[in-house]
Amino acid sequence: MTQYIFVTGGVVSSLGKGIVAASLATTLEARDLAVNILKMDPYINVDPGTMSPFQHGEVFVTADGAETDQDLGYYERFIRGNRMSQKNNFTTGSVYAEVIRRERRGDYLGGTVQVIPHITDEIKRRILAVGEDHDIVIVEIGGTVGDIESQPFLEAVRQLRLELGSRDSMLVHLTLVPHLEKAGEIKTKPTQHSVKELRSIGLQPDVLICRSIDPIPLSARKKIALFTSVEERAVISLEDAAISIYQVPVMLNEQGLDDIIVEHFRLDKPPADLSEWHTVIDALAHPKQTVEIALVGKYLDVPDAYKSLSEAIIHAGIQTKTKVNVCYVDAEDLERDGPAALADKHAVLIPGGFGARGFEGKVAATQYARENNIPYLGICYGLHAAVVDFSRNVLGYENADTTESNPNTRDPVIGLVSEWRDVSGQVERRDGDEDKGGTMRLGEQRCHLSGSSIARKAYGTDHVMERHRHRYEVNNKYVSEFEANGLSIAGRSDDDELVEMIELDDHDWFVACQFHPEFNSSPRDGHPLFTQFINAANRHAGNGSDAAK
């Protein structure tokens, strides 16, 4: 039978519930348990796919093509046992949409449709659906206890705890223990209130994870235990990690959290082997070299907008024992001021993006990296920028563009497939085609790597599965001209129809991909493209290559 751990948050948001849920999962996995994780989001949007990165950070894409909350990225970076799918994240909006769809269909036979039981039943159904084939499911409840939005989720959890039985379910509550500088003391009252709030809706936590700046002294933990009826050893102090979030599994394990869980669930399991996490932390704490890379993007005020990407860079640093300093360059500034900001950088990274704004800055950055032999990794829109730069500045198609940025370009080197392929399969631009609503290519697809490519060497295999999230593609009409002039097609789709990767022949390391490799990177395993990219940056910086794997 599957056992459930519910993770709630109190006092304030942004305490790192996702990281705690993921870290807990990795410690349980390290005890031979099959763990799954579910995130429930309390907003009305049906899925996060259309939410602006400015408001909501990154959209994480699962292998099966779901556009999900970025917490699923943490889950995949921390666990190995299974991959996230569209079942692992849902929103209030999607629950209501489903219940309303059934109501319209007449499924409720004219009965009154209500939050309890109809909405809560649908929430419970979805929670139980992720349990199949897993020993333990960790359910992260988005929002903060007390918010009006998360109430149906908490009510569903209350009902489920009764149905599952208290021995087969646990409630872990994350709170904040603030340090008041002027008074020179920490305060336990917000935690007490937050637990009171939980209790008022019928939920008693089994474990409290208390976030704080510094370790919380035993006396304060005792006090919290007394006021909240939580066992003393289950009041866990989680101070800000000194080096990295990747210390959190070890920090939780050292305080016995996985022991408490294994005992509560009456499981006979070996102690957690976290040696790989110690290796990760050691690499982060003692880098052997440093590189400076430029990331030319546009959602720069929102650190979470490039979450998987910035993590993938850190992972490459772990694999190569390199401290990677990322300089975020605004593509629009670069458009205006020219590429001076890139002059002292050891590599240039162009991330994915949407819309015309900033695209010219990305093209200018690409041109600079190409002409100055600076290692370059272009991801999705970055590949489009690379193809546009090459077409304009090497092939001399001055007006070349992606139709996303310039729908009327004479040379649509990037466009919607419907724009450049006619019905008979010939590749040709259909002028005046107004169809901009091409559907997104989403999720994992196979890419075949060409034999002599950098990518083939980096991956060490002939084909890879990588995740997509885009509409526009390289126009095949121009491909033979690209190849004849030094831009090689390094990867193609399974059906051979679409360009997946490109490389420059006369360049130290210039690679661009149509997919998003960052979604497949993890601290313990890294990702071959990012690792080789940082190796190239190290070479460019003149760093010793012996430290690099």
| Active-site amino acid positions | 380, 516, 518
Least distance to ligand GLN, CB of residue 534, Å? 21
Total residues contacting ligand GLN by CB under 6 A comes to: 10
- Say if CB 461 and CB 404 are below 8 A apart: no
Q: Is residue 539 a contact point for ligand GLN (CB under 6 A)?
A: no
Is the Cβ of residue 456 or residue 470 nearer to ligand GLN in the bound state?
470
Q: Considering the complex, state which of residue 315 and residue 471 has its C-beta at the smaller distance from ligand GLN.
A: 471
**Position among 298, 321, 345, 471 found at the interface with ligand GLN (CB under 6 A):** 471
If the CB atoms of residues 2 and 418 are measured against ligand GLN, the closer one turns out to be 418
Tell me the closest approach of the beta carbon of residue 472 to ligand GLN, in angstroms.
3
What amino acid occupies position 20?
V
420 binds ligand GLN (CB under 6 A): no
For residue 51, is it left (φ>0), alpha (ψ between -120 and 50) or beta?
beta
For residue 29, which phi and psi values (nearest 5 degrees)?
Answer: -60, -35
Beta strands at 3-9 and 136-141: parallel, antiparallel or unpaired: parallel
Q: Report if residue 469 touches ligand GLN, rule: CB under 6 A.
A: yes
353 makes contact with ligand GLN (CB under 6 A): yes
Task: Give me the least distance between CB of 468 and ligand GLN, in Å please.
Answer: 8
Q: For residue 57, state whether it binds ligand GLN (rule: CB under 6 A).
A: no
User: What are the residues facing 272 on neighbouring strands?
Assistant: none
Contact 519/468 with Cβ under 8 angstroms?
A: no
Residue among 143, 339, 352, 443 that touches ligand GLN (CB under 6 A):
352
Shortest reach from residue 355's CB to ligand GLN, in Å: 7
Question: 186: which 2 tokens?
Answer: 């920490």
Q: Can you read off the two tokens belonging to residue 430?
A: 């259909």
Q: Are 440 and 493 in contact (CB under 8 A)?
A: no
Alpha helices for 352-478 (secondary structure H): 359-371, 381-393, 417-420, 454-459
Q: Minimal distance in Å, beta carbon 426 to ligand GLN?
A: 22
Choice between 37 and 512, CB closer to ligand GLN: 512
Helix, strand, or coil (residue 293): strand
CA atoms within 13 A on the CB side of 421: 14
What letter represents residue 192's amino acid? Q
Nearer to ligand GLN, 71 or 404 (CB): 404
Contact track, ligand GLN, 142-171, x by CB under 6 A: ------------------------------
Tokens of 109: 């036979």
Closest to ligand GLN by CB, 78 vs 354, is 354
Token output for 277: 């996490």
Distance CA 349, CA 346 (A): 10
Residue 381 binds ligand GLN, judged by CB under 6 A: yes
Would you say the C-alpha torsion 209, 211, 214, 218 has a positive or negative sign?
A: negative
| By the rule CB under 6 A, 472 interacts with ligand GLN | yes
Paired tokens of 317: 């640093």
Of 131 and 382, CB closest to ligand GLN: 382
Smallest distance from ligand GLN to CB 354, Å: 4
- 2 in Cβ contact with 137 (< 8 Å): yes
Residue 519 is a binding residue for ligand GLN (CB under 6 A): no
- Contact call for residue 470 and ligand GLN (CB under 6 A): yes
Using DSSP's 3-state secondary structure scheme, residue 360 falls into helix
The answer to whether residue 362 forms part of the interface with ligand GLN (CB under 6 A) is: no
**Near ligand GLN by CB under 6 A, which window of 73-81, 83-91, 189-197, 350-358?**
350-358
Cα–Cα distance, 293 to 297 (Å, whole number):
13
Q: How far is CA 9 from CA 34, 220, 312, 321, 481, in A?
A: 24, 19, 27, 35, 56
> Which residues share a beta bridge with 179?
186
CB of 529 to ligand GLN, least distance (A): 15
Closest to ligand GLN by CB, 346 or 471: 471
Q: How far is the CB of 535 from ligand GLN (least distance, A)?
A: 24
Judged by CB under 6 A, the stretch of 79-87, 120-128, 470-478, 523-531 that binds ligand GLN is 470-478
Residue 74 near ligand GLN by CB under 6 A: no
- Minimum distance, C-beta of residue 49 to ligand GLN, in the bound complex (Å): 12
Determine if 499 is a binding residue for ligand GLN (CB under 6 A). no
- Which residue from 102, 74, 101, 98 is spatially nearest to 88, judged by alpha carbons? 74
Q: CB-based contacts of 523: which residues, under 8 Å, 6+ apart?
A: 77, 246, 280, 311, 314, 315, 318
Contact between 339 and ligand GLN (CB under 6 A)? no
- Give whichever of 354 and 368 is closer to ligand GLN, judged by the CB atom: 354
Please tell me whether residue 404 binds ligand GLN under the rule CB under 6 A. yes
Please identify, using beta-carbon distances, which residue of 6 and 390 lies nearer to ligand GLN: 390
Q: Which residue has the tokens 């139980």?
A: 128
Q: Are 360 and 384 in contact (CB under 8 A)?
A: no
Q: Is 380 in the site for ligand GLN (CB under 6 A)?
A: yes
Identify the CA nearest to 217 among candidates 239, 193, 194.
239
Binding ligand GLN by CB under 6 A: which of 354, 390, 459, 478?
A: 354
Minimum distance from CB of 37 to ligand GLN (Å)? 25
Alpha-carbon torsion (447, 450, 455, 459), positive or negative: positive
- Structure-token pair, residue 1: 């039978």
Residues that bind ligand GLN (CB under 6 A): 352-354, 380-381, 404, 469-472
